[in-house]
Amino acid sequence: MRILRAGAAGAACLVCYLSLGTAAAADPEACENRVNNNIDKLLECVTLEGVRSHQAALQSIADSNGGIRVSGTPGYDASVDYAAGVLEGAGYDVTLQPFTFNAFIELGEPSFAQVAPVPTDYVLDVDYNVMSQSEPGDVSGVVEAADLDLGLGNGSTSGCEPADFTGFTAGNVALLQRGACAFGLKADNAAAAGAVGVIIFNQGNSEGRTGLINGTLGNGYSGGIPVVFATYDLGVELASTPGAEVSILVDVFRGTALAMNVLAETTSGDDSNVIMAGAHLDSVNEGPGINDNGSGIAALLETAVQMAKVKPRNKVRFALWGAEESGLVGSDFYVLGNGVDGDGLSEGEIADIAAYLNFDMIGSPNFVYFVYDGDGSSFGLEGPDGSGIIESYYEDFFAARGLPFESTEISFRSDYAAFFDVGIPFGGLFTGAEGIKTDEQAAQWGGTAGDAYDPCYHLACDTFDNNSDVALDVNSDAVAASILQYAMSTEILNGKRGKGNFNLRAEQENMGRRKYR
């Protein structure tokens, strides 16, 4: 295994990697010995059981590491060990690419309580949560509100201007309301006025802005004090309680940490015509991340294992990204560099990548089959040339099986963003996160209208049980089929001739003849 060293990050201590058995197929002996060099054979061997075995391994890693796999923690390092071992054991050239990033890691259980006049312990993830990028701290003080505007239809700008804190008493805890400007700016202004801690509560201007959100202060937050986010009702309660005193404990690490991308590529294939397939390997602080994004990782790993004996026409490079949950850091570093640890891809290396395929959350329990809107026909933003062709491939895949699908917006919330920025065609699959399933979608795909596509998104319950076997099975086949298709021919994308039995027309005809398992 190669380790790609980048500046000072290359000095990190790396553990030895162990090759782990992974393949679980309908006919294990046949799948182990044959070359899955067409899509029918490959899909016979990329099974739900095989994919789920990788998710089970990631769950076990989380269980042994405080329930998380966050970049910069032992749980993430163990995830790297596992994935790299699987890929190396399957015969790929594996490279570890280290990079530094601004980490935010929850170390211990937080607490938030009213000390007076009515002692009350508030409940984490019900009444409040810790804002991402908060500083650690154990503080207490009198609650002092700044420029609140309560009630439905309000236009809160609380905390957005230093003037909002005119007369603020240094040493108090600032009570601020969501609205009009970034959370980090509000907290920075409060800290500059002498606050020892900050409570930001939801705006309450509409029924949809009353509960908790997973908000962030941003990497640029410089206030130096702890910040929690509260429900609208709790904010109103504190604002209307004369002399309210609170205590806030936030036990986190916020600073520079080291993580790694895992890159694995085939030993054969045209290295001037590379197909990349990626998914992020890290979880959030709140849980093990088995759908987000153990699902995409597991599908890639099982596809790689079952393609191991294939001699592709084009080089295939699997990418398992670090620190996606910290702001797409790993994929940005790979493509763009960061000016500290490395310079990113050269113009020639960018030109060598024919397509990037992204798989982030593909087994959501209340799923929809979403395909990225590469041609911009649904949301108005078109991807780089070729993205619409990739979108059509996935649409044809679902249509051939009589399965409904829907476009999803290019929102730059996942690791395709940097590839988009440098003009590389991209596409991919998604089954939904915190978005709410509509009545029309429930009629198409089943599930529960009015609930999130993934009710455990960014929560501790994103475990091995947080899964739709149906969606994961279908999407794992789509992952495998698309990777092999473009591994063998990118002619429709860039005019480079591939294997004749993988031309698009023949493949579409084959799709129509296939009967989905």
Does the bond joining 136 to the residue before it have cis omega, within 30 degrees of 0?
no
174 and 282 inside one domain: no
Q: By C-alpha distance, which of 174, 172, 176, 175 is closest to 160?
A: 176
* Alpha-carbon distances, residue 185 vs 121, 134, 193, 458 (angstroms): 28, 12, 12, 24
Which residues does 131 contact at the CB level (< 8 Å), separation at least 6? 183, 187, 200, 215, 216, 217, 227, 228, 229
pLDDT at 220: 85
Total count of domains within the chain: 2
450 and 495 inside one domain: yes
Residues 98, 8: Cα–Cα separation, whole Å: 9
Residues 106, 148: Cα–Cα separation, whole Å: 30
E strand spans, 391-500: 406-408, 426-430
pLDDT at 19: 24
**Overall residue count recorded for the chain in this entry:** 517
Q: What are phi and psi of 412, to 5 degrees?
A: 65, 30
Question: What does 93-148 look like in DSSP terms, one character per residue?
Answer: EEEEEEEEEEEEEE-S--EEEEEESS-EEPPBTTTEEEPBTPPPEEEEEEEEE-S-
339 and 454 inside one domain: yes
271 and 186 inside one domain: no
Half-sphere exposure of 353 (CA within 13 A, CB side): 27
Query: Of 197, 215, 250, which residue sits at a domain end?
Result: 250
pLDDT at 510: 52
303 and 447 inside one domain: yes
Q: Model's pTM, two decimal places?
A: 0.84
Q: Which two tokens stand for residue 107?
A: 């170390």
What is the domain-level CATH number for residue 245? 3.50.30.30
Task: Quote the Cα angle for 396-399-400, to 5°.
Answer: 85
77 and 119 inside one domain: no
Query: Of 232, 250, 268, which residue sits at a domain end?
Result: 250
295 and 177 inside one domain: no
pLDDT at 3: 45
272 and 158 inside one domain: no
322 and 246 inside one domain: no
236 and 278 inside one domain: no
84 and 199 inside one domain: no
End-to-end CA gap in the chain: 36
Helix (H, G, I), strand (E, B) or coil at 53: helix
138 and 153 inside one domain: yes
Domain containing 450 equals 2-103+256-513
Query: Of 226, 250, 274, which residue sits at a domain end?
Result: 250
Which residues are identified as catalytic?
324
- What is the sign of the dihedral through the CA atoms of 269, 271, 274 and 276? positive
What string of pLDDT tens digits covers the 517 residues of the chain?
Answer: 444 433 323 222 222 222 222 233 457 778 988 999 999 999 999 999 999 999 999 999 999 999 999 999 999 999 999 999 999 999 999 999 999 998 999 898 999 999 999 999 999 999 999 998 999 999 999 999 999 999 999 999 999 999 999 999 999 999 999 999 999 999 999 999 999 999 999 999 998 899 998 888 987 899 999 999 999 999 999 999 999 999 999 999 999 999 999 999 999 999 999 999 999 999 999 899 999 999 999 999 999 999 999 999 999 999 999 999 988 999 999 999 987 777 899 999 999 999 999 999 999 999 999 999 999 999 999 999 999 999 999 999 999 999 999 999 999 999 999 999 999 999 999 999 999 999 999 999 999 999 999 999 999 999 999 999 999 999 999 999 999 999 999 999 999 988 877 876 545 445 444 433 3
C-beta separation of 405 from 370 below 8 A = yes
pLDDT at 16: 22
What is the domain-level CATH number for residue 425? 3.40.630.10
